[in-house]
Amino acid sequence: MISLERVGHDYGGGELLSDVTLELGPGSFHFLTGPSGAGKTTLLKLCSMHLVPTSGRVQVFGQDVRKMTRDQIARARRRIGVVHQDCQFLDHLPLAENVALPLAVAGLDPSAEAQNLAELLAWVGLADQADALPPSLSGGERQRAALARAVIMSPDVILADEPTGNVDWEMSLRLLQLLVELNRMGKAVVIATHDLNLIRAAKAQVPARVLRIRDRRLTQAGADL
């Protein structure tokens, strides 16, 4: 579904990523590791078409990103759910409306999806928080809300950037379980994380592939994780 072929990216001060090749197929599960600043977020942005590579080729759902029109990119992005490291919400809107924002952006009527929205909030354990304003939510609740918002359009791919970075271990496992459930539904999942314990917990449930960015390149991590 998403393919990177010998991709490099340079922000202007030298390459951050170089010669990266990656294939994200249906139902695949990948962890992306590496030190801070190695390029994990950049790689996810290349996969979500928020960045264009400075070298190599990125194909998303069979189309070369460089040749896609703005409308084609917009349609393709609806099939990719992104959980950002720093989840941002509109503080004046209740949780349910924040989660439903992608529907409005796509030109759909959120009220027509009310039942699906209610089921989604229940799935992430936030049914009782539907009317709560974002400032009143805990870190774990915000992360689960961010995941709900990322999957409300029923994407084929979920990209999660340090989704458990600001929550405790119990909540980390809960978020992981939600992502594992999505993967078992056939979604491709990529999780960027520093948490090796999280990776070990996931590998006990799904055949996750662990990748590491080091010295600008992407390699498969060793079996010692």
How many of the other CB atoms lie within 10 Å of CB of 104?
11
CA–CA dist 70, 62 (Å, integer): 16
Percentage of the chain exceeding pLDDT 90: 77
CA–CA dist 176, 168 (Å, integer): 12
Residues in a beta bridge with 157: 80, 188
Burial category of 45 from C-beta neighbours within 10 Å (exposed 0-12, middle 13-18, buried 19 and up) = middle
Tens-place pLDDT, residues 148-172: 999 999 999 999 999 988 888 998 9
Task: Using pLDDT thresholds of 50, 70 and 90, give the confidence band for residue 14.
Answer: confident
Q: Which of 28-32, 100-104, 106-110 has the weakest average pLDDT? A: 106-110
Q: What is the mean pLDDT of the chain?
A: 92
Task: Using pLDDT thresholds of 50, 70 and 90, give the confidence band for residue 225.
Answer: low
* Angle (CA) 47 49 54, round 5°: 90
Domain boundaries, the chain: 1-79+155-225, 89-153
Tens-place pLDDT, residues 19-62: 999 999 999 999 999 988 889 999 999 999 999 999 999 999 99
How many of the other CB atoms lie within 10 Å of CB of 169?
12
Q: Which CATH superfamily is 1-79+155-225 part of?
A: P-loop containing nucleotide triphosphate hydrolases (3.40.50.300)
Does pLDDT of 9 surpass 90?
yes
CA–CA dist 167, 149 (Å, integer): 18
Does pLDDT of 222 surpass 80?
no
